[in-house]
């Protein structure tokens, strides 16, 4: 209880949210063969592309091995394209990420390599092109179109109201206040955690910031802040809760968070 009380006394400001276009996409499709190559995965360039995108945080599939969810709706994913520019003394590659209407969502700088061995040169040139993507912040946040697609494909089930268990107070300490459990304002949907310098921003599918989390010295304990309440967000029995005082009553909201 002392830990809760200490955290509830801390009030911090909310940081500004900035959305990046690539953040609207969770999935990326990699073709079996790039147009400038003669064979599928020649020089292991397709496998390297997949690995580098996964390192960035995307969920990546080869275009010929798509799960049903993406095969039925390719507009939910970006498609990779690699452009080669002929050079007399260098290999030059540019990374493109396109949407389902062939619009370029992201274009990298021209990656270069002067190695003579093709397998080495293509590898280094692609990694050089990927440095542009490394410099671009990425955290998946569904846009309005993604939200509409999700409503059609997946039924939304409201989270039940769950009363927080009452813990017996230790000896010589005051009894724990009665906790009033209420349904979370976002109980019908998932909150997506976007990393910030001091913690996370919890964003709904609007997208809109619902709650800002600030790190503490304890794992799975955050200071929670929104325009109407300040409190703590913590993990208990595998589930997340936001606790704060409302009209001098300790209130607990269950949250569905996806990190």
- What's the pLDDT at 245? 87
Summarised one tens digit per residue, pLDDT across range 166-222 is: 555 555 555 555 555 554 444 446 888 888 888 888 888 777 888 888 998 888 899
**Cβ distance 256 to 240 under 8 Å?**
yes
Provide long-range contacts, Cβ within 8 A and 24+ apart, for 216-221: 216/7, 218/3, 221/3, 221/7
CA distance linking residue 78 with residue 99, whole number of Å: 5
- What's the pLDDT at 177? 52
Structural domains of the chain ordered from first start: 2-8+142-258 (no CATH), 21-134 (3.40.50.10070)
- What's the pLDDT at 49? 94
CA distance linking residue 128 with residue 112, whole number of Å: 6
For 38, the token pair is 């003669």
Instruction: Give the pTM.
Output: 0.50
Scanning the structure block, which residue is given the tokens 């310098």?
197
Total length of the chain: 259
Segments of the chain with pLDDT less than 70: 1-20, 143-189
- What's the pLDDT at 165? 56
Q: How many C-beta neighbours within 10 Å does residue 259 have?
A: 11
């Amino acid at each position: 209880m002392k830990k809760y009380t200490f955290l509830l006394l801390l009030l911090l400001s909310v940081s500004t949210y900035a959305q990046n276009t690539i953040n609207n996409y969770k999935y990326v499709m990699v073709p079996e063969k790039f147009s400038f190559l003669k064979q599928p995965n020649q020089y292991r360039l397709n496998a390297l592309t997949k690995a580098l995108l996964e390192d960035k945080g995307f969920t990546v599939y080869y275009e010929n091995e798509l799960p049903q969810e993406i095969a039925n709706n390719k507009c939910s994913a970006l498609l990779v394209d690699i452009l080669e520019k002929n050079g007399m003394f260098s290999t030059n590659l540019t990374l493109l990420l396109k949407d389902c209407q062939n619009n370029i969502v992201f274009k990298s700088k021209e990656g270069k390599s002067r190695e003579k061995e093709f397998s080495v040169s293509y590898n280094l040139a692609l990694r050089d092109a990927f440095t542009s993507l490394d410099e671009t912040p990425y955290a998946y946040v569904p846009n309005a179109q993604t939200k509409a697609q999700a409503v059609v494909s997946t039924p939304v089930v409201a989270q039940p109201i769950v009363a927080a268990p009452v813990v017996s107070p230790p000896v010589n300490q005051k009894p724990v206040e009665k906790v009033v459990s209420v349904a979370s304002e976002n109980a019908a949907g998932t909150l997506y955690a976007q990393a910030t310098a001091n913690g996370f921003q919890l964003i709904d599918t609007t997208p809109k910031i619902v709650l800002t989390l600030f790190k503490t010295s304890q794992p799975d304990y955050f200071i929670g802040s929104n325009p109407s309440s300040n409190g703590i967000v913590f993990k208990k029995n595998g589930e997340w809760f936001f606790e704060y005082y409302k009209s001098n009553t300790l209130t607990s909201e269950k949250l569905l968070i996806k990190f």
